[in-house]
């Protein structure tokens, strides 16, 4: 079952109003008991995920704000790991939905316990840059959405899109129960109910059924082609500038082992990390032995091994959300490196993370002949 439904013609220029009303109705009419949705923090231009139960607490809903402080896929997994005790929904970007699906496969969340609302994602800014720009532009989300839909570029004076967003070839909310569609929808955005649960919900709200937008398929195809071009340029750049071993070591040498990249990565789900165990608590004499053997040794000694271990553990599940780069205080291009390496490992298994819940994780599935004869 599927269908298209009208939202509001004014939601392109002022997305917060109609989308806020849509969110309020989901709670007010008992379709959901709680909704995970991005809202502006009081007395701040910043946006954060909030879990709302009371419709009158949806005062500053803005799910299309071009910023991603936290990958909400992790939050959705946290809300569904056990029975939440009510009907929970979440408005998530495509990379957040894909991250959530990967976590579901790792038994960290439950798809059946959440009502997912996806959206066309125009991209995001780095959080500090968004905060300053939004502070000077009260209608920031509307300006951003209108500019991106008309020209494909952020409005004049806005920060640049994050590199990971420009290179993301999955900008639509596939896999959600309901999708918010902006691209190729003349006369304003609309909703697409992609599951039976989604269609039941929007029909319960008495939203008007409309025809499939005639220009959407072509518009989305063109949009994705542009993203793929940027992605391939990124891969070429990283492979020539960073991935040669000597340059990779140089790029990662400034790592201070703060582990920020691990903390924000949705694919790093382990409750106990080897890098927080006593595995790397070497006796003092060991460091002197290494220094004597090599003449010089970088301290701390495990920073390179940390990144290589993360690549091994999660490159097949990397969704390219870019949170690792945003969190790095040293400006290391973590996301660019991981995305390029992940492209290779994912290709080996013909696996796209978050594409489908029916596809088993490569690292948890053994096939006797999967790496032969070319390997």
Measured CA to CA, the distance from residue 69 to residue 185 in angstroms comes to 28
Pair 219, 171: CB distance under 8 Å: no
Beta bridge partners of 4: 192, 210
Opening angle at CA 99, ends 96 and 103, nearest 5: 135
pLDDT at position 261: 94
98 contact partners, CB below 8 Å, separation of at least 6: 73, 170, 175, 319, 353, 354, 355
pLDDT means per 10 residues, the chain with 375 residues, are 70 61 92 96 91 91 95 97 96 98 96 97 97 92 93 95 97 96 86 93 89 94 97 95 84 90 91 80 88 86 85 90 96 94 91 93 78 59
Measured CA to CA, the distance from residue 101 to residue 95 in angstroms comes to 10
pLDDT at position 374: 55
């Amino acid at each position: 079952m599927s269908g298209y439904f009208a939202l509001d013609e004014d939601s392109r220029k002022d997305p917060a109003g109609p989308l806020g009303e849509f969110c309020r109705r989901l709670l007010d009419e008992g379709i959901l008991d709680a909704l995970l949705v991005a809202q502006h923090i009081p007395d701040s231009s910043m946006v954060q995920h909030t879990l709302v139960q009371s419709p009158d607490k949806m005062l500053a809903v803005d799910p299309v704000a071009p910023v991603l402080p936290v990958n909400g896929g992790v939050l959705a997994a946290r809300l569904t790991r056990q029975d939440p005790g009510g009907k929970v929904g979440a408005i998530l970007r495509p990379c957040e939905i894909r991250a959530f699906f990967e976590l579901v496969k790792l038994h960290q969340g439950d798809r059946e316990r959440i009502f997912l609302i996806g959206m066309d994602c125009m991209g995001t800014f780095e959080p500090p840059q968004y905060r300053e720009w939004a502070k000077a532009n009260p209608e920031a989300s509307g300006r951003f959405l209108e500019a991106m839909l008309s020209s494909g570029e952020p409005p004049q004076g806005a920060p640049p899109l994050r590199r990971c967003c420009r290179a993301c070839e999955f900008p639509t909310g596939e896999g959600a129960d309901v999708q918010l569609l902006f691209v190729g929808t003349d006369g304003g955005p609309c909703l697409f109910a992609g599951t039976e649960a989604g269609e039941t919900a929007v029909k319960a709200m008495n939203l008007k059924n409309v025809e499939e937008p005639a220009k959407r398929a072509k518009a989305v195809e063109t949009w994705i082609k542009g993203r793929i071009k940027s992605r391939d340029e990124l891969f070429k750049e990283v492979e020539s500038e960073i991935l040669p071993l000597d340059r990779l070591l140089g790029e990662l040498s400034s790592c201070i082992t703060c582990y920020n990249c691990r903390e924000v990565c949705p694919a790093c789900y382990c409750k106990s990390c080897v890098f927080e165990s006593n595995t790397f608590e070497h006796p003092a004499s060991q460091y002197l032995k290494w220094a004597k053997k090599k003449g010089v040794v970088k301290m701390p000694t495990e920073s390179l091994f940390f990144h290589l271990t993360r690549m091994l553990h999660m490159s097949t599940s990397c969704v390219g959300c870019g949170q690792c780069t945003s969190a790095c205080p040293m400006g290391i291009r973590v996301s660019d490196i991981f995305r390029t390496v992940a492209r290779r490992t994912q290709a080996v298994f013909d696996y796209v993370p978050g594409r489908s819940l029916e596809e088993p994780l490569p690292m948890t599935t053994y096939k006797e002949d999967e790496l032969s004869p070319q390997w």
